Amino acid sequence: MIKSLVIFVLGLAAIHTAFLPQTFTNTQDDDSIAQVQELFNGFWTAGGIDEPTGLAAKCFDEDSAAFMITTLNETLADLAVNNIVKAIQAVSKFYHGIPQTINQCMNNDSHVQEMYQAYGVVNMTVAQLNQKVLTYVISHLEKVHGEVVTANNDFQAGNYYQVGQDGGKFALDIFNSSSLVLM
């Protein structure tokens, strides 16, 4: 899942390279594990699979869950205003700051393996994932930007399940599409 977040943001970085506005808002400091679980639930159900009950509590402590929520908040807010540099910096900080135990827990979980199957990314390398995301984003710039703005608005409103659903639909579009329309 962490790999998915990095790939999602790297792909979106290709959307707009000319605009670099600033600012983002901070998330509410509610139960971050519950927020992560809602994101997961939406993402899994968008892929047509059962919600990964308890996965966030199993793999994340409150601090690491809050770190994920804050990173996603910053990333979506930055991407929504085309601040690609800050979004990539936030994801890089997250990627390098998340404990290896979370990666191991997630990758060893049957729910995560099922999700990889549903999204068709089981045997893909990070380079292949990046290429697929970048190709899709470049060929669907307006659609992707609109989805990012919607996801940011939903996130700011605390609609974490919907953000997960939208992210899952976006991932399905990317990884299950056999043909891309180039503009």
- Percent over 90 (pLDDT), the chain: 48
Is 70 exceeded by the pLDDT of residue 147? yes
Q: How far apart are the C-alpha atoms of 45 and 30, rounded to whole Å?
A: 23
Domain boundaries, the chain: 2-14+29-175
Is 70 exceeded by the pLDDT of residue 99? yes
Three-state DSSP state, 170: helix
Residue in 45, 42, 92, 38 with CA at minimum distance from that of residue 65: 38
Q: What is the mean pLDDT of residues 22-33?
A: 52
The number of CA neighbours under 13 Å toward the Cβ of 73 is: 21
- Confidence at 30, pLDDT banded by 50, 70, 90: low
- Confidence at 47, pLDDT banded by 50, 70, 90: very high
pTM of the model: 0.79
Secondary structure in 3-state letters for 58-123: HHCCHHHHHHHHHHHHHHHHHHHCCCHHHHHHHHHHHHHHCCHHHHHHHHCCHHHHHHHHHHCCCC
- Confidence at 57, pLDDT banded by 50, 70, 90: very high
Residue 54: Cβ within 10 Å count: 13
Please tell me the predicted confidence (pLDDT) of residue 160.
96
- Confidence at 25, pLDDT banded by 50, 70, 90: very low
Please tell me the predicted confidence (pLDDT) of residue 96.
84
